[in-house]
Every structure is written in C-alpha cells, then in structure tokens.
Structure 1
C-alpha cells in the first residue's frame, strides 16, 4: 500500500503559505500610527522607578541603542502587518547583539542566541525581520554605505534560507545535536582574517570565568565574600546605596537571606536531580542588584555570589521575567509563569543551555529565571568590525537563527519550501529593513525630543554614579 511522501506533502504545505502571504509582501511595514513614547512608557511600568532615567540615557546614546531598548515598538508594528501563519517558539528580540559565545555543559565553546526575555510563540519571520533591521540601523550608525547595509541583509537572509534547506534534510536527532562550535566556525570561515578573529574570541572567552570575575566584583571581609557596591550598576538591595523605593515590598524583608529562603528552594525544584545535587555544594555569600543591558534596565536583576567547599566561586543571575512584548501583540497560548516561559523557550531554541537554568517566584510575586552570570560568555563588538568581519558575522547570525527555528519548530521542510531558493525573500526584506530603519530614526528623533523637553528623564551611567560616594 502506498503511503505517499510525507516530506513532499510538507514541502507543498510550505509553498502553499505563499498564497497566504507572498514572499514579496514581506516588504510591508504597515501603517505606523502610534506614539512611540506612550509605548515606551507602558513598557517601563513596574520597573524600578529610579533606574528609568538610566534606561532612557542608555537608549539615547544612538539610534542603534534606542532600537535595542525598544523591542515593544517593532512587536507592535509587526502585529499590524500580515504574517505567514507559521507560528513557533521565537526569540522575540533577535537583534545582532543578542548572539554570543558561551560554554556548553561539556565545555565546548559555541555561538548561539543568548537573550530570551521576549521569547514566545509567534510568526517565524518576526525574528528574521528584527535581525535584518538591527544590521541596517547599526550600519547607518557606523556610517557604512547603503549598498553595504543592503549586502548585509542579503547575506543574513541567504544564510538563513540556505541553512534551512540543509536542515530540511536532517533527522530530528541530527537537528537536536547540531551545535555551531567555534571550531566549526574556524573551519567554515572563508578568510584568514575571520579565522584569526574567531580564535581571538576563543582565547578571550576562556578567560571569562567566575574566578576571574571574583576579584573584580567582590572582596573578602575575613568571614565571607561581599560584592562591591558600584552604583548605579551594582548595589545592595538593603544597603545605603539602594535605588529601590523605600516602600518597595522587597525592602520589607530586611535582609537578603530572607529574600532567598523560599525562592531558592522553588528554583532548585526546577532543576534536574543531578544539578540539584551539584547546587548543594555551594553556599550563598552575598546578593546584589546588577543593572544589565539596555532594554532590561529597570527590571529586577540580581547577582548571587556562591562558593563551594574549596572557596571556588560561582555567580548566579536572578532576572525578572515580565510579559513578552511578542505575547502582548500576538495572541497565542501562554504559560502562566513568565520565568518558566523564558526557560522553556531558551531550552528549545538554544543548542545547549546553562546547567543551572531554572525559574522561581520571588517575594511580592514577581516571576524570575536564574542562570550562571558568566561562564565563558562572549559578545561581539561589531562597531570595531571592518566590512569583511561584519559580513561574516551577518552570515553567522543567519545560520544560528535558522538552526534555532528549525529545532524549535520541527518545520524546517515547510520553512525551506516557503522561501524557495531564489532571492525573492532577501529582496523583500532588504526593502523592509530600509523602510523600517527610516521609522526607527524618526522614532529616535521623537524620543530625543521627549528627553530634551523633560517628558522623559535621561541620565548617563557616569552622571548617576556622581550621585554616590562609595
């Protein structure tokens, strides 16, 4: 009895999506009738009030930092345009700075997506559109020619398309085991300059460990290690330099040990048995608030310093998980716990995730997720890249995003068939990214005027640090 060809049927279903949304239609940006400041203010609700000026100050540095900190704007705008209807777990904020290197549990150094605060179910193309726009906005900030920016978009989309066709032939296990290691990146680099840059990155990552961070961030007082206050970037919740409001629910707990007590046990239960056993070798030494990134500024982010029986350190990051900007504008099934959403999304999208990745509910009901703060982690400083390195980085990002989507969805065949092998999607996304980058610059001007007029208060790290004497 003939059973047919399942792969051919799936490919036909993917091509049929073109009638739902033609590849050329991916160029649409839609009618952008909204107040960007109103959306940013909505996104700031519930954050630490005294850190909002720092959030806006970091965003004010350039249109690119503004773009990094305003994921809510593009999520809103994408929701006003058609989509392919192919829904899967997506990163939600796949701009070019949310890719990086880190060590797997087996101590392999790999490159992958590394920020999942906005992970959610959504149309796959939303991730690709955020990625290509980020390259165009960054290229303009770096004063690169328009043709160079367009070539970067074409590189990203072509890499994503070609890798997706490759993954369409992978078995489920082959795809699950696929990892983009630094060794593989060296092998596939097409120029000596790129190979040298990758090897330099490997050497730098190897030095970025908890032990190397201990001397920079903490000091031993004779009994235990204590994290140094460096406000506004790092401060103790219950210390003199705290930036929490005096009426904050967390401050009513009185000390950091009380803050951790119930929450840490919840967190441990989200780990596998062997990792709970490993965690028991560590004792908490100190807890502090640590401001990170651009878009995350003002959300609650803590660093917990722990040591094992030999006094060797490990830093854990306890980060607030709020509702994803994707789920605010795309109606799909949601998990009740936002920390669990981040963890589940990270595990399914990444090739390998941190062994201590888990979630819990913090005091006052805030959802958090927890992971190691630094474990051979590395990010690219694209502003120092020449055109050759930037083109290689664009190709790598397209490859990584294809791997993540193929793994998270199991629909590499359908995605490859929808895109085909022509440049139609690349051409459409080149048009989209240029048009949307124009809107980013307009939004930045509105944001700049709001800061200058006093509607929003924006302060730099240096300006806020001057308020403290530590």
Structure 2
C-alpha cells in the first residue's frame, strides 16, 4: 500500500461524483478534525493487527465513532432519543475499535472543542469511566429528555419548539399551495431528469412490494442532497413526499447509496451474509439503537442498494462549542456518549456472533485495555496531524 496520503484518499473515493468530492476535499482541508471525520478508511488501514485491543469481545459497532456521530432523532414510537446516528461503516468487530476511534477524535478535535492537551486527556477518561462502568453493570438503557443531562438535555428540550412547517421551509418553497425543494447549491443541488425518474421508479416499486402507504409516499420532488463528510461524493437524494397532506404535512426523505464497509478488508471476524450493504446498515442500526427511527428502509437496485430514512425536525447534534468555558458541561457530554456506546453494545449482544453481557461485564473489569486505548489514540492523533498537513500541502 502506498504511503502517499493523496493517493490513498483518492483511491478510496474513486467513482464518486467529482463535483461533490471536490466539496469533500475542500471541507477536509478546513481543519484536522474534519479531515479525520472524512478519512475513516485511513484509521483502519493503519490500525495494527498485533494490538491486544483486537482480542476484545466482538460487538456490533458503528465503525466510525467520533464526536459528531451522536445526535437526537424521533423513534418509530414517536419519542425523541439521543444515540449514535451513523451506521454506514457498521459491522461485527472488537468492542475497543469504536472506543479507540472515539478517543482519538477527542484528541484530534481538541482545537474544535477549544480544550488543551490535559483537558482532552481528562475528557477521554470521562468517556472511558462511563463506558466501563456501564459495561460492568451489564444493563442497557436509553437517553430520553427525562433522563438526559447537561448539553444533551438542553438539546432535547429545545426540540419541543421545532415545527414541521418551519423545518420544511428550510428546504422547500411553496407555490400555489404545493412545496418543491429549494435548490441552493449548498444543501440541495439539481438532479437530472434521468436521476429523478430512476428514484421515482425505485420508491414506487419499494412501497408496492413492502405494502407501504402509496399516498404517503407520493413523490412531489426529487433533487440531489449534499450532507455529511465521509459519505460526501456518494449518490444521495432529498425526496419530498405528500406525507399527511400538502403543504405542511409533507415529509422529507433521505435516500443514500451504501458502499461496502471500509472496515471489511481488516475484519478477522466472520460477518453475516447480508442481502445488501444497505441491509447491513439498517439491520445493525435496528439492533444497536434502543428504538430505531421512523421510516427506515432498504431499497435495492440491482447490485446497488440505498438506505431510505426520514429527515426530521427533531434530528440534530449537540453543539460542541456550547459548553461556554465550563469544562463540567463537556464532562457530562463525554459521560453520556460513553454510556450510550456501552448501552448500544450491550443491547445488541448475543446476535450472530456478538458477545453476551457476561463477556462484556468480564471485559470491563480488566485493567489493561484503557491504557492501551489512551496510548494508541495519543500516538495516532499525531499521525492524523501529519497526514492532514500532507493532504493540505499536496491537494
């Protein structure tokens, strides 16, 4: 494998939309944390095979756990939760892989968090304390408004005032009582007629085969959607549907192509024979989250597959700058994220090769893995900085 960072990144992203990839690379040049978020594949390409962390109990992992891959959403029971929210790279792997990637994100993202080196180490230990304490108890829970604290509680409380109409107004324009997607070339760009026809056919065939309500999924508009960092460049669409009636009962859907998991070449554990890559993403998300989001589905088109999900007014992330110089607020956020990570691993245990609670409880009481995670994350964060500098200089 070449050591040239530019070659490695371009090779991984080969086949993506050139215009969107340029946006991705521009974002990655903006700061080292965004670069880290956009290069999950580099992390696992570099991860040593002989680390003892690889012998940890197998669990269903997000695969790309970092500070910005947690958020709020409305479940299919219409209650709002805070949980891990990105499963593109989800797979069966050692439980430590998500943890070490997250801890590295704290150190790499210290400038984004506006904390110094010792504070970043302190926050890392807050996460590890919460994670190991939850594993040791072996009981899975969920974060709701009533059980949240600190910045997460502030986020979940703020969602109560969000209205569907206001949310739709951010993405659409109304004309004669009907909405259409607003092409701003920032979040929404124009899809070709051929793309629109393809997506209309795919969704129509899907709701017929799954017996979904045809009137709800009546399509009003389809355009390309720009979102995310790691997945930017992949085929992705915003789909405006009739929902419960125009104009303000309309729903927005996200339809995103799923690629092969970037961890796949480095997985020693046998993986299930998923019917498609999107089936992998949705199945693991449904196992891991306490309550999966509404309108989550899989659409297959030959050898391609897409994840269909609702775009929600309640969907948001905690602002990493909202701690206002009070480190205790960041402590609580790291504690919540550590708890959620452990709860999700416990909740999905015992499925197709993942460890049961007893195995995770036993692992939590071991002492050596924490120092190994901190040592590797600290060391690798320096490599990320070097890779980022090389990327900025040569791209």
- Which position in structure 1 is the counterpart of 2:288? 349
Q: Secondary structure of the equivalent of 1:305?
A: strand
Q: Which runs of structure 1 show a deviation greater than 6 angstroms over 4 or more consecutive aligned residues?
A: none
Asked whether the 8 Å contact 2:145–2:157 carries over to 1, the reply is no
CA distance in 2, matches of 1:209, 1:184: 23
The aligned runs of 1:350-429 (5 Å cut-off) are 350-362=289-301, 365-385=303-323, 386=325, 387-410=327-350, 411-420=356-365, 422=367, 424-429=368-373
CA distance in 2, matches of 1:207, 1:48: 37
CA distance in 2, matches of 1:290, 1:371: 13
CA RMSD, aligned part only?
2.3
CA distance in 2, matches of 1:100, 1:448: 29
1:298 to 233, 253, 257: 233
- Which position in structure 2 is the counterpart of 1:130? 101
2:117 to 135, 146, 150: 146
- Which position in structure 1 is the counterpart of 2:32? 63
Structure 1: gaps (5+ residues): 1-31, 187-193, 239-250, 452-470
Structure 2: gaps (5+ residues): 351-355
CA distance in 1, matches of 2:162, 2:84: 18
How far did residue 267 of structure 1 move? 5.7
- Which position in structure 1 is the counterpart of 2:174? 220
- Which position in structure 2 is the counterpart of 1:160? 131
- CA deviation string 1:303-342 (max 9, x = no partner): 1111235321111100110011111321432424111111
How far did residue 100 of structure 1 move? 0.7
- CA deviation string 1:343-401 (max 9, x = no partner): 11111111111221111124x74311100012411201113323222111111111000
CA distance in 2, matches of 1:114, 1:309: 26
Shift of the 263–180 alpha-carbon distance from structure 1 to 2, 3 Å rule, reads: same
Residue 36 in structure 1 maps to residue 8 in structure 2 = no
Aligned length, in residue pairs = 382
Q: TM-score, normalised by structure 1?
A: 0.76
- Which position in structure 2 is the counterpart of 1:7? none
How far did residue 198 of structure 1 move? 4.1
Asked whether the 8 Å contact 1:78–1:126 carries over to 2, the reply is no
The aligned runs of 1:59-458 (5 Å cut-off) are 59-78=28-47, 80-82=49-51, 83-84=54-55, 86-167=57-138, 170=139, 175=140, 178-186=141-149, 194=150, 197-222=151-176, 224-238=178-192, 253=194, 256-266=196-206, 269=209, 276-277=212-213, 280-311=215-246, 312-331=249-268, 332-333=270-271, 334-362=273-301, 365-385=303-323, 386=325, 387-410=327-350, 411-420=356-365, 422=367, 424-451=368-395
How far did residue 158 of structure 1 move? 1.2
Shift of the 46–291 alpha-carbon distance from structure 1 to 2, 3 Å rule, reads: same
Write 1 or 2 for the structure with the bigger share of helix: 1
Shift of the 33–432 alpha-carbon distance from structure 1 to 2, 3 Å rule, reads: farther
CA distance in 1, matches of 2:372, 2:206: 47
How far did residue 164 of structure 1 move? 0.7
Residue 47 in structure 1 maps to residue 10 in structure 2 = no
CA distance in 2, matches of 1:346, 1:421: 28
Structure showing greater radius of gyration is 1
How far did residue 264 of structure 1 move? 3.7
- Which position in structure 1 is the counterpart of 2:353? none
Q: TM-score, normalised by structure 2?
A: 0.90
Worse-superposed segment, 101-110 or 125-134: 101-110
Asked whether the 8 Å contact 2:9–2:39 carries over to 1, the reply is yes
How far did residue 299 of structure 1 move? 0.8
CA distance in 1, matches of 2:128, 2:208: 40
How far did residue 263 of structure 1 move? 4.1
CA distance in 2, matches of 1:153, 1:420: 18
Asked whether the 8 Å contact 2:126–2:335 carries over to 1, the reply is yes
Asked whether the 8 Å contact 1:157–1:425 carries over to 2, the reply is no
